[in-house]
Amino acid sequence: MQVEKVPKSKAALRVRKQLVEAILFEKMLPYKEEKVSRELSHFFIHGRSATFRCTGKISAFGRIRIEEELVYKLTSSGEIHQAVIAEFIAELNPEAEIGRLLLQELEQTIYLTDWNEEHIPQLLSRRQVNGLELDSAIIEGHPYHPCFKSRTGFTVEDHKRYGPEAGQEFSLVWLAVKRKDLKFNYPKEEQSFWQKELGTNQWRDLVLALCQKGGQLDEYTFLPVHPWQWDAIKEQYADSLESHDIIELGEFGDLYRATQSVRTLMNRSNPQRAMIKLSMNMVHTSSVRTLVPHSVCTAPALSDWLHKVLLSDDYLLDKGVVMLKEYAGALFEPKGCQSNDSSGQLAVIWRENITNYLKSNEEFIPFNAILLKEKDGHLFISEWIKKYGVEKWATQLIKSAVIPVWHLLVNHGIALEAHSQNMLLIHKEGWPLRVALRDFHESVEYVDSFLKSKEGLPDFTQLDEVYNGAKDNQYYWMQEVEALRELVMDTLFVYNLSELSFLLDREGFISEEQFWELVDKELTDYISCFPENRERAAHIDYRRENIMAESLLKKKLNRESQIEHRHLVSNSLAINQDTRRAEHVLC
């Protein structure tokens, strides 16, 4: 499998485009901008041995958007030819193995995306698809990261069987594991938990399968595993299987389907039941998709804390904000396993299902659905915008989905990783009503001195021994408020709403400048409604000229995964320093 010398497929052009945009945005190679028109510029990228030219524009937060077909390598003789992905990787000068792995992930992304284009029938429009189904039907992948479908270790057969695109259903592998080797955090007594989650019949099937294999409930308990994961890592557990510390019970029970995150599954047999997140030992975008061991049993405690914050806050309750609790977690971690390669590879987190929170006539969509362009040539949200008007619709979106996340930061001192896959938009006939937030186990941060209240804050040292003596910035507690601002603005604005503002501008609905003026107005009006938070908002300093953003591509080129990779970007909210008068604000 090799990338074409000159990218020809839509997937190859897109991967090259996003690779070059990331190189420019993260300032990984020096470049010079030359204006060629009011809207467009040439960007000359200077490598160690070659110069490249692409054409595009600078958009919100300094994001650089290029024309995907206009990416050239310039020769010393003045000739130009289409640039090749491998040439850019060579100029980044990574270590040989890291460069090879990056190229392999880019090739896999192209290969699987091309396969989808050829083999997966695409609807002309997904606007009538219900929210749960839409979470599988969004197959575009990350709009910024060039490895948006890398899925290392996936064959085409795996892609067909376990990827969300083909919509296949499968049962989980069930293991019986020695109780001494399982860490878990369940919301109720264990047998009651399993019977509620599985139903009486499947619970009986598990117990019967265990007994038939010679095990007893007083010595063993159960753990679900993704079938792809078990096939991939089973050999690592040969000793545990031989000693009967693990008993493989087989595949059975409810049928599941992958959502767009691949490792999070929806229950197809019982659609009202929990979403289930399972470890998968694959690299997708920038991360290995196993579950970080310490987070698995911490997840329910974090969710309980956030839920208490929600219930204590009249504003959040009035806005109808939903916190989808990760209410249970389990992890196979024999003594002495914490630091070895198998740690976190057999783990599961259960999360509440959004459908149980919907009111009459309400629907929901994954938040990144608002960024889709359908096969009919129009944005997913085009009809909604035409129906309500772009400024009214966008303002309501900001009020209902953005400001609640901002309120958690400013009022409570809690930062969430609010990227578009972690948010669900609840609407009625396209009119934004409220937001549901999810995936907290690795994406909550706070500064102890900036918390409004410590009531309900987990005692982390009682949850996992790794927290004992842990330093600031290592887990959930940060040293500086700046880290909280960075997390929220990076995920919510730089890599989330900036995509929407660019699309609305490109499609002629509203300029990016006007869109961010709407955001700015709502942030200003928020302080007018909560004047007691003015000093806290000033401490966050969200109007500073430049802010830090995570360097998603640069992260892949460094073996030290614990090192934070960040770069400075211009702040689109620094432009408008206007302070609006409170009497014009309807709180």
Domain containing 16 — which CATH number? 3.30.310.280
Cβ 290 vs Cβ 344: under 8 Å: yes
Residue-by-residue DSSP string for 551-566: -HHHHHT-S-TTS--E
Same domain flag for 310 and 436 = no
Smallest CA-to-CA distance from 501 within 512, 490, 509, 489 is with 512
Q: Identify whether 34 is part of a domain.
A: yes
Same domain flag for 394 and 329 = no
Nearest-angstrom CA–CA distance, 64 and 143: 13
Domain that holds residue 93: 10-119
Written as six digits, the tokens of 399 are: 């009020």
Q: Identify whether 268 is part of a domain.
A: yes
Same domain flag for 174 and 301 = yes
Q: Of 312, 329, 350, which residue sits at a domain end?
A: 350
Cβ 331 vs Cβ 183: under 8 Å: yes
Q: Of 296, 325, 350, which residue sits at a domain end?
A: 350
* Residues 6+ positions from 314 with CB-CB distance below 8 Å: none
* Residue 454, burial from CB neighbour count under 10 angstroms (0-12, 13-18, 19+): exposed
Nearest-angstrom CA–CA distance, 213 and 207: 10
Q: Of 330, 350, 370, which residue sits at a domain end?
A: 350
Q: Identify whether 560 is part of a domain.
A: no
Collapsing DSSP states into helix, strand and coil, what is residue 54?
A: strand
Same domain flag for 114 and 188 = no
Same domain flag for 105 and 193 = no
Q: Identify whether 577 is part of a domain.
A: no
Half-sphere exposure of 93 (CA within 13 A, CB side): 7
Angle at Cα 320 formed by Cα 315 and Cα 323, nearest 5°? 100
Angle at Cα 140 formed by Cα 520 and Cα 93, nearest 5°? 85
Same domain flag for 459 and 415 = yes
Sign of the CA dihedral running 385, 390, 392, 398: positive
Nearest-angstrom CA–CA distance, 510 and 60: 13
Same domain flag for 490 and 407 = yes
Q: Identify whether 126 is part of a domain.
A: no
Same domain flag for 369 and 345 = no
Give the CATH number of the domain where residue 477 resides. Answer: 1.10.510.40
Q: Identify whether 492 is part of a domain.
A: yes
pLDDT tens by residue, the chain, 587 residues: 343 456 679 999 999 999 999 999 999 999 999 999 999 999 999 999 999 999 999 999 999 999 999 999 998 777 899 999 999 999 998 899 999 999 999 999 999 999 999 999 999 999 999 999 999 999 999 999 999 999 999 999 999 999 999 999 999 999 999 999 999 999 999 999 999 999 999 999 999 999 999 999 999 999 999 999 999 999 999 999 999 999 999 999 999 999 999 999 999 999 999 999 999 999 888 788 999 999 999 999 999 999 999 999 999 999 999 999 999 999 999 876 655 556 789 999 999 999 999 999 999 999 999 999 999 999 999 999 999 999 999 999 999 999 999 999 999 999 999 999 999 999 999 999 999 999 999 999 999 999 999 999 999 999 999 999 999 999 999 999 999 999 999 999 999 999 999 999 999 999 999 999 999 999 999 999 999 999 999 999 999 999 999 999 999 888 666 677 999 999 999 955 444 334 456 66
Same domain flag for 372 and 333 = no
CA 392 to chain centre: 28
Q: Identify whether 561 is part of a domain.
A: no
CA 262 to chain centre: 11
Q: Which helix (H) or strand (E) holds 288?
A: strand 287-288
Number of compact structural domains in the chain: 3
Secondary structure letter of residue 349 according to DSSP: E
Same domain flag for 331 and 375 = no
Q: Identify whether 466 is part of a domain.
A: yes
Collapsing DSSP states into helix, strand and coil, what is residue 137?
A: helix
Written as six digits, the tokens of 443 are: 């994406």
Same domain flag for 263 and 326 = yes
Same domain flag for 370 and 475 = yes
Q: How many CB atoms lie within 10 A of CB 168?
A: 16
**Residue 411 φ then ψ, to 5°:** -80, -40
Cβ 94 vs Cβ 102: under 8 Å: yes
